[in-house]
Structure 1
Amino acid sequence: MPGERVKVTVRFADGAAPASATFWLVGHGGLGARRVEVFRQPRPPDVLKKERDEAQAEARQCQEDKARLLAEREEPGGLMGAAWLEGAGVVASMKLGFLTKPPANALGLDEARSYSYTPTGETHPASVAVRLRLLNPGAEPWTLAGAALVDSAGEQVELARWTLAPIPANGAGAVVVGIKGERAQLGCPCTLKLWEATGPRTFTLGNVEFPVSQQSGP
C-alpha cells in the first residue's frame, strides 16, 4: 500500500563480509517496483569496522550538534542567558580580566563576562550572572552539575545554572550561572566554583567582579 514501510534483510551465501544488508521498502502509488536487485562488493572486515566506527562517531557528533542548536534556539534572554530581564531596569556587563585560575582546574577558560541587573530607581543589583566559555581538554564530556559563589567575607551562595549542552571532549562550550534577590548583594572580588555531574573534575575562578549599573536620572 502507498506509504507502507517494510523492513527487508538479505543475506549473502558466499560467506564474505558483509554477510547481510537491511533495507526499508516504502510503498508508492506510482513508482512501485516488483523486483529489487541487491549487489554488493565484498570488503575486508577491518574496512567495515572502520566505516562503522566512523558512522557512529558522526552520529554522535550530529546528536551533540542538534542538542546545542536546540538549546541555543530556546536560550532565554537577560541574565542567566537573559532569563531574568523581564521588566524595566538596567543591565550592565563587563568582560572579566585579571582572573586567577588554579593549575588543578579541569577546564580551561576562553572568555568570561559578568552581568548585573538593577531595577529602575534602586541602587543595588537585584541579580547577577556570569557567562563563561570553557575548554574541555579531557577525553570525556563535562556536564555542569552545580555552582557556587564565595564572596570576600567567605559567604558561599549556591548559584542557579544554565548550560547550552555538555562540554564535549576536546571541545568548548558555554555556561551561565547566577543568583537573584537579596543574596546578589555580595562583597567582591568573589570566587566562582563549578563542578560536574559525575567525577571529581572541578573549575575554580578567582577575582570575579560584577559591573555597576549606571542609572539615568528621572
Structure 2
Amino acid sequence: MPSSSTVVLLALLFASAAAFAQSESSASVPGARRIELPPDGSPSIAEIAVSAGLSTGLYFDSDLMRDGIELEGWERFSLVDIGQATLRLIPSSRVTPGEHFRLVVRFRDGAAPVSAAFLLQVHPAKAEPLVEVYRGKRTIETYQQETRQVRAELERCRDENSRLVAEHEAPDGLAGLLSTGTLDKDGVAGRIVTKDILLLAGRALEAISVTTYRAKKAVAVVVKLTTKAGAQPWSPKGVTLRGRTGAELKVLRIWQQPSNPLDEFQSIVVEAEAPEAGVQGPFSLKLWEDGPRTVTLGNVTFP
C-alpha cells in the first residue's frame, strides 16, 4: 500500500495547473521542422537539437556535395549517413548535454546559397527527428500544408488552454480530481515496480523506490531518488516517457517534493497524458537537470 504522503502528493500532482509541453514548427511533413535558407546567402545558423543514441534526419530540396560536408567532432557520432539530398546523424554516448557541434553542408548545383551552416545542440533526452531544409521557392502545396499545420497547432493550444482553465477553476483535493474528470468511480490504480526497473544511465542518483499510478485520463510515476555520496544536489528540469517504438507520452507536469539537505531521499512525480487504458509500457523514463547529469530508468510499466 502506498504511504499517505505519497497519496497526498499524487492528488496535488493531478490537481495542479502547471503545464509541460513543447510546440513544433510547421513543415510539409507533419511533425517535422522547416528551415528556409536566405536566398541571398546572408549568414544564418539554425540550431538543431540532437541527443545521444537518437536519430536526426535532415532533408534538403537540393543535392548535396558529399565531400563538402563538415561536421565538428565527427568521431563522436556513431552514425553520419550522407545521401543524395539527405543527412542522418546519431550522436554517440560520448557527447555531453549542452555541447555544440558546427555542421556545414554544400550544395552540388552551385546556386545561391551555395552552403548552409547549422549548430547541433546536444540535449539530454530530446532530438529533432526530422528537419526539412529549403533553398528554392515554395510551392502553393507547401503553403497549404503549413496553413493546415498552423490550424492544428492552434486547435491544440485551444484545447490545452481549456484544460488549464478548467483545472485552475476546479476545487482542490478529491473534489478537483472528480470535477476535471481525472478521477472516476474506478479511482486510481497503483503498482510498485521498483524491482522491475532497469537503471539504464546516470550514476549520480539511485532510485530506491518507483511506484506507478493510473487514473481515468492520466498516468503518473513517483520516483524516490537518493543522491550518491559526495554528489551535488540535483533537481529535475525535464523528463521524457518513451515507449519501445520511440513514441513519447505527453508529459503534463513534473513536480519535486520540497526537501531539505538532511533528507535521505527526494520524491519526484511525473504526470503524463494517457487516455487509453492500453498504454501500459514498458517505457523508458529519462530525467535531466540544468546541467550534464541525467538518470534513465527502463522497464517502467503502469497498472
Distance 1:148 1:89, change over 3 A: farther
Deviation at 1:155, TM superposition (A): 0.5
Distance in 2 between the 1:155 and 1:113 partners?
22
Structure 2 gaps, min length 5: 17-172, 179-183
The count of aligned residue pairs is 130
Distance in 2 between the 1:148 and 1:133 partners?
17
Task: Give the SS at the match of 1:89.
Answer: coil
- 140, 145, 148: which is aligned to 2:232? 140
1:157 lines up with 2:253 in the alignment = no
Tell me which residue corresponds to 2:219: 128
Tell me the amino acid that sits aligned with residue 98 of structure 1.
D
Distance 1:113 1:167, change over 3 A: farther
The percent identity for this pair of structures is 32
Tell me which residue corresponds to 1:19: none
Tell me which residue corresponds to 1:95: 192
Is the 8 Å Cα contact of residues 201 and 297 (structure 2) preserved in structure 1? Answer: no
Distance in 2 between the 1:106 and 1:169 partners?
17
Is the 8 Å Cα contact of residues 283 and 300 (structure 2) preserved in structure 1? Answer: yes
> What does the per-residue CA deviation read over 1:143-185, in whole Å, with 9 as the maximum and x for residues that have no partner?
1111110012211235210111368499411000011354886
Tell me the amino acid that sits aligned with residue 101 of structure 1.
L
> What does the per-residue CA deviation read over 1:72-104, in whole Å, with 9 as the maximum and x for residues that have no partner?
8xx655373675961133210010032110254
Is the 8 Å Cα contact of residues 109 and 133 (structure 1) preserved in structure 2? Answer: yes
Task: Give the SS at the match of 2:13.
Answer: helix
- TM-score, L = length of structure 2: 0.38
1:189 lines up with 2:122 in the alignment = no
Distance 1:136 1:169, change over 3 A: farther
Tell me which residue corresponds to 2:213: 115
Is the 8 Å Cα contact of residues 79 and 115 (structure 1) preserved in structure 2? Answer: no
Deviation at 1:105, TM superposition (A): 3.2
- TM-score, L = length of structure 1: 0.51
RMSD (Å), alpha carbons: 3.0
Tell me which residue corresponds to 1:78: 11
Structure 1 gaps, min length 5: 1-71, 119-125, 212-218
